[in-house]
């Protein structure tokens, strides 16, 4: 549905020129270049058709992206995000800001992808340790569109430092403080309209709207479409994987926005696919198909892989993956974060292919093994339960651990009982523990793990997805079930 929002229309003199019409196309959190939802939604080929139609209707059109595209996906596990940059180039993206997943392959790979981009990436609050802009990215641009100077700047959530593989040389500033300094500079350099291109939580976007005078916030990070109005500033997010293409039409008069229309354009089957982009997608699909369609194992039961459940309770897919990690590492016990399981759907019983296995664990996190005593293992498990809810990054899926916990107790005091291989935890005992190299380095707040003794060096570690594939190769049939490994209880 089209909605019109008036931003202080003034009385115009007949002698004044007609207001300038500017169109902003916007997307966020796009991981797949092909269609999703069984072909019903998305695809870059359809996006290019919609983009061309918008430009034909209004040449004063900019195409903007709010981050998260290089990872995670099956294709990115092979191409390390290169395929996504080639797709964005093919559909003539104008500007992008970084998302947290842009760092998943590390800062050097990100620098390579930025170098391959035909469009600028913008980041006002991402620095290198020496204080310079990361990868020499500009903080902002001022683009003249139809005679109007449009200023655009980018902001990335500082949580990226904990949730991705940024390395020690990348520093994240407070996004609101960075914007507070930057926006007056934009205005002083002539920007008449200021657009914040953000990859922040909605709470931070609202804080930005309250504290910094911008005309429009085009956001990302959350995967649900949302529209908000805070302190007179509209905030838009359009879901994920290009199911919806945001279209915001601005009328600019006297150097200010006097009218704004917006709508979400469905990127569905009714939209024709651009032939050139279709051929490019087919090129990548052919490369993937040769490697990914190999059958691995027969799965006797449906596998529960929905993200909201993997992040807050035991699931049979979580048990399968944790068991694979433990067995591959030869460890006493294992813990993975539910957030690392990315398939986000129920995988039906039947033949599981290599492609599906990589969809379950698409990250290139290595599998490592460390030595922990009982007290340290308890600290790890306590931290895994410190953040509860469907968006938790630390919530565990485990193997050879049995945990009873009280979610009503304060963080750090929730574990009521912890067993290893069916035996009560012994504080002074020594346990070998398998986990991802990402959390071993302190990711997702596991700050106690970098101190642990390494029993399997990171350079010898297989990627989690590879470990899962090797585990499945050794089994003709798998039938994981719920076993009470994680039990939420009240009282003692």
Give CATH 3.60.21.10 domain extents, the chain.
Answer: 3-284
Q: 293-488 — its CATH code? A: 3.90.780.10
- Tell me the pTM: 0.76
Angle (deg, nearest 10), helices 175-188 and 202-211: 40
* Residue range 3-284 in CATH 3.60.21.10: yes
Q: How many angstroms separate the CA atoms of 437 and 82, rounded?
A: 23
Mean pLDDT of 92-99: 98
Q: Pick the range with the lowest mean pLDDT from 15-24, 70-79, 98-107.
A: 15-24
Q: Which pLDDT tens digit goes with each residue over 32-66? A: 999 999 999 999 999 999 999 999 999 999 999 99
**pLDDT at residue number 365:** 86
Domain(s) of CATH 3.90.780.10: residues in the chain:
293-488
Q: Is the pLDDT of residue 366 over 90?
A: no
User: Quick one: 422 exposed, middle or buried, by C-beta within 10 A (0-12, 13-18, 19+)?
Assistant: exposed
| 342 HSE (CA, 13 A, CB side) | 20
Percent of the chain with pLDDT over 70: 95
Mean pLDDT of 382-397: 96
Residue of higher predicted confidence among 17 and 163: 163
**Residue recorded with tokens 């030869």:** 330
Please report how the helices 275-292 and 82-90 are oriented relative to each other, as an axis angle in degrees rounded to 10.
Answer: 170
Task: Give the model confidence (pLDDT) of 245-299 as tens digits.
Answer: 999 999 999 999 999 999 999 999 999 999 999 999 999 999 988 888 889 999 9
Average pLDDT over residues 129-154: 95
DSSP 428-442: T-EEEEEEEHHHHTT
Q: Is the pLDDT of residue 13 over 80?
A: no
């Amino acid at each position: 549905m089209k909605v019109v929002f008036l931003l202080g229309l003034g009385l115009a003199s007949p002698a004044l020129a007609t207001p300038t019409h500017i169109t902003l196309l916007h997307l966020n959190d796009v991981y797949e270049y092909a269609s999703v939802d069984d072909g019903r939604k998305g695809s870059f080929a359809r996006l290019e058709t919609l983009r061309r139609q918008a430009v034909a209707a209004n040449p004063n059109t900019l195409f903007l992206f709010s981050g998260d595209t290089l990872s995670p996906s099956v294709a990115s596990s092979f191409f390390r995000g290169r395929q996504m940059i080639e797709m964005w180039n093919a559909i003539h993206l104008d500007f992008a800001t970084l998302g947290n997943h842009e760092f998943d392959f590390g800062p050097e790979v990100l620098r390579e992808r930025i170098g391959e981009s035909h469009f600028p990436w913008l980041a006002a609050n991402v620095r290198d340790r020496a204080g310079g802009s990361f990868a020499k990215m500009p903080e902002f641009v001022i683009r003249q569109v139809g005679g109007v100077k449009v200023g655009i700047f980018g902001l990335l959530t500082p949580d990226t430092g904990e949730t991705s593989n940024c390395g020690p040389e990348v520093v994240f500033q407070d996004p609101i403080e960075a914007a507070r300094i930057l926006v007056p500079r934009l205005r002083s350099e002539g920007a008449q309209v200021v657009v914040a291109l953000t990859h922040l939580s909605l709470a931070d976007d609202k804080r930005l709207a309250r504290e910094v005078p911008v005309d429009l916030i085009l956001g990302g990070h959350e995967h649900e479409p949302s529209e908000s109005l805070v302190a007179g500033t509209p905030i838009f997010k359009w879901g994920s994987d290009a199911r919806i293409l945001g279209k915001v039409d601005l009328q600019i008069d006297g150097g200010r926005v006097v009218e704004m229309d917006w709508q979400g354009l469905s990127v569905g089957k009714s939209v024709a696919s651009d032939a050139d982009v279709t051929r490019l997608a087919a090129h990548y699909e052919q490369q993937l198909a040769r490697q990914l369609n190999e059958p691995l194992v027969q799965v006797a039961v449906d596998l529960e892989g929905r993200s909201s459940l993997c992040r807050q309770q035991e699931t049979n897919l979580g048990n399968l993956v944790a068991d694979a990690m433990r067995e591959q590492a030869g460890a006493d016990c294992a813990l993975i974060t539910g957030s690392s399981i990315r398939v986000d759907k129920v995988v039906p019983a039947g033949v599981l292919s290599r492609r599906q296995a990589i969809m379950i664990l698409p990250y290139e996190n290595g599998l490592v093994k460390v030595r922990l005593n009982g007290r340290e293992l308890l600290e790890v498990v306590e931290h895994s339960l410190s953040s509860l809810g469907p968006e938790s990054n630390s919530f565990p899926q485990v193997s050879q651990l049995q945990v009873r916990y009280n979610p009503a107790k304060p963080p750090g005091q929730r574990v009521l009982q912890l067993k290893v291989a069916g035996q009560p935890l012994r504080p002074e005992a020594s346990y070998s523990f398998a986990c991802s190299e990402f959390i071993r380095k302190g990711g997702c707040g596991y700050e106690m793990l970098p101190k642990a003794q390494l029993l399997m060096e990171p350079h010898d570690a297989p990627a989690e997805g590879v470990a899962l594939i090797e585990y499945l190769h050794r089994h003709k049939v798998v039938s994981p079930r719920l076993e009470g490994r994680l039990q939420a209880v009240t009282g003692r």
